[in-house]
């Protein structure tokens, strides 16, 4: 994940998602997430092409992560277009919410896979 400050972005991610501290690996700061997936944060001085990262979480994990989002006073939306500010969605019978990381990437947590409802 490109960032203007890889330390800030990786720290934000692990704090919001409740994950172990990032580990340096070459030019990256690696964050281990579920299912043997690693997010590698990389510094760039170039313009960042904003990406969307969605994470399927349990109901309890949603509550914990969303609680950290609101405790920080972060803006959040029910939709990726950022039209429904301050709301969560209930797509497919679950819950979902979007928020941005310090680099501007769209992070999404959802409790039901798309099309499962």
Report the alpha-carbon distance of residue 92 to residue 2 in Å, rounded.
31
pTM, entire model: 0.94
Q: What are the pLDDT digits (tens) for 49-75? A: 999 999 999 999 999 999 999 999 999
36 secondary structure, DSSP code:
T
Report the alpha-carbon distance of residue 29 to residue 23 in Å, rounded.
5
Distance of CA 1 to the CA centre of its chain: 11
Q: Which CATH architecture has domain 2-110?
A: Roll (3.10)
List alpha helices for the chain, DSSP H.
Answer: 6-17, 59-71
Residues with Cβ within 8 Å of 12's Cβ and at least 6 positions away in sequence, in order, are 101, 102
Please check the confidence at residue 34 and state whether its pLDDT lies above 90. Answer: no
Domain range annotation of the chain = 2-110
């Amino acid at each position: 994940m490109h960032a203007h400050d890889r330390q800030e972005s990786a720290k934000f991610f692990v704090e919001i998602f409740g994950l172990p501290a990032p580990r340096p690996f070459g030019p990256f700061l690696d964050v281990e997430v579920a299912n043997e997936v690693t997010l590698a944060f990389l510094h760039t001085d170039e313009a960042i092409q904003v990406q969307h990262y969605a994470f399927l979480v349990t109901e309890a994990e949603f509550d914990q992560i969303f609680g950290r989002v609101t405790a920080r006073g972060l803006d959040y939306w029910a939709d990726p277009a950022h039209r429904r500010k301050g709301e969560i969605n209930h797509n497919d019978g679950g819950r979902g919410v979007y928020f941005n990381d310090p680099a501007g990437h769209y992070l999404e947590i959802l409790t039901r896979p798309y099309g499962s409802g």
